[in-house]
Amino acid sequence: MNRISDLPDSILLHILSFLPTKTAFLTTVLSRRWTHLCHDLQHFDFDQIQFHNGNQTWSDFSNSRKQLFTIVNWILSCHKAPPIRTFRLTCDLDQFDEYLVDWCDSKVLGPNLEELNLQLAFVGRSFRKVVIPNGVFSCTSLVTLRLNGDITIPSPSSCHYHLPSLKTLQLYNVETSVSNLEELLSHCTALETLVLDSVCRSREEGQLSICFPSLKSLHFKSFYVDDLRLLVIDTPSLKRLDIQVEFWIHEIRVRNLHNVEEASIDIHKQSFVLEFLVELCRIRILELGLSVFDCLPEAPPHRIPEFTCLQRLELTVRCFDTRYIMDMLQKCRMLKLLAIVFNRQYIILDPHPSRKWELPGKVPTCLASHLQVITIKRYVETRDDRDFFAYVLQQGLVLESLDIQVDRARAEGFPEELSLLPRSSKTCQINFSWN
């Protein structure tokens, strides 16, 4: 401890900034110097779970919430200077806690606040929402804003949106209208990371434009309760895209996705999927989700673009649709890794029982020159899979491993049978793991 105490205040404050605030303030028992340091903290992280006794009871949650707000109230009341730069609060609420949240925000808002992270949930089956104070959305110094839970955003009629320094905006389960969200985004001109996860639950039909020249990462997740008439994505600097869309978006327009390097697509409608894939034809890492499996296999192969730079492809499937897999391999001439993931929660019988395994007229270029690893996760045996395994082992000239995760109870004799299949690659290993 003496060695740590010999460090300059600036370094000790930096170390304390990485600790939960409750833990940091426990150091005040060491000496007056540590008390002074804690009152100079600029980074605060309060989490209700730190006050739990380990019992999952109503009284324990209620007591931990009261203890949390007592500590928050004391620390913020004693804090004078320097200005707060980071404030994180994670807790449950009851109907009497809303004013405490407002009070906390009023104490931390200032010209030096760079990060605000609020994760709030009302206890029980409450439909109440915390209205975030107007000052949050006009804090010109704010760089990161993360809101999660039973939260609503004030409308622009009562709040002046102005976040010129904001680089990261993350909204999870936050309630607002499409028009309010559109207006908010229009005042976040420096955004680099945007997360919109189950936002806009007002059932107001509208248009949402995600058009940022500086945006590098986008996560967009929409549920049934959303009702977007049009989603526009125009992001020329985007590197990472994660999009999950259900039925309620009527139209999607995408452009300028040519710099995306990694994407996860889970969209129910075939035309939307194809529009994204055409824009992502130079991508390096691609995941296609279960909703894509429900629509893309029926698309004519000529509609699927050539992926000239794709090196890693992951397909989530309900069954072993070998035509879908082979059609994708034909489009990925530089592919090095193929992962096929069975979604066991929604496994179905072959939706095309009359479709038989057919030898491709042309060996996929990647299989003969680049494909090194094939991984099958949560494997469930279906009709054409062994023909597929025999084919890729025979045609995979540079294949290094075929890795299969299988249910031991359902795979009696399968490992031995597969290990006897001929392989063109002398270095190819067949590896089994068990669920």
Q: What are the phi and psi torsion angles at 409 (to 5°)?
A: -70, -25
Average pLDDT, integer, range 247-256: 85
Q: What are the phi and psi torsion angles at 359 (to 5°)?
A: -65, 130
Inform me whether the pLDDT recorded for 96 exceeds 60: no
For tokens 């042309």, what's the residue? 362
pLDDT at 261: 97
Q: How many angstroms separate the Cα of 261 from the Cα of each of 34, 44, 115, 219, 287?
A: 46, 35, 28, 14, 12
Nearest to 399 by CA among 338, 331, 351: 338
With bands split at pLDDT 50, 70 and 90, how would you rate the model's confidence at 214? very high
| Distance separating alpha carbons of residues 2 and 189, to the nearest angstrom | 48
Inform me whether the pLDDT recorded for 182 exceeds 60: yes
Of 50-59, 153-162, 244-253, which range is least confident? 50-59
pLDDT, averaged across the chain? 84
pLDDT at 73: 80
**Chain center to CA of 350:** 30
For tokens 């699927």, what's the residue? 304
| Residue % of the chain over a pLDDT of 70 | 79
| Distance separating alpha carbons of residues 281 and 298, to the nearest angstrom | 19
Inform me whether the pLDDT recorded for 55 exceeds 60: no
Q: How many angstroms separate the Cα of 169 from the Cα of each of 175, 193, 215?
A: 15, 6, 11
| Distance separating alpha carbons of residues 250 and 203, to the nearest angstrom | 14
Of 168-177, 199-208, 318-327, 356-365, which range is least confident? 199-208
Burial of 162 (0-12, 13-18, 19+ CB in 10 A): middle
pTM of structure:
0.86
Q: How many angstroms separate the Cα of 324 from the Cα of each of 205, 236, 293, 318?
A: 35, 30, 8, 12
Inform me whether the pLDDT recorded for 100 exceeds 60: yes
In angstroms and rounded to an integer, the radius of gyration of the C-alpha atoms of the chain is: 27
Inform me whether the pLDDT recorded for 8 exceeds 90: no
The model's pLDDT over 117-151, given as tens digits with 9 standing for 90+, comes to 999 888 766 677 888 888 899 999 999 999 998 89
The model's pLDDT over 396-435, given as tens digits with 9 standing for 90+, comes to 999 999 999 987 766 666 778 888 889 999 999 999 888 7
Sequence-separated (6 or more) residues with CB below 8 Å from residue 402: 374, 376, 389, 392, 393, 428, 429, 430, 431
pLDDT at 354: 56
With bands split at pLDDT 50, 70 and 90, how would you rate the model's confidence at 284? very high
Sheet holding 206-211, edge to edge: 206-211, 228-234, 252-255
pLDDT at 418: 84
Inform me whether the pLDDT recorded for 394 exceeds 90: yes
Q: Are the beta carbons of 334 and 311 closer than 8 angstroms?
A: yes
Of 47-51, 109-113, 182-186, 306-310, which range is least confident? 47-51
Beta bridge partners of residue 89, listed in sequence order: 46, 118
pLDDT at 49: 81
Burial of 72 (0-12, 13-18, 19+ CB in 10 A): buried
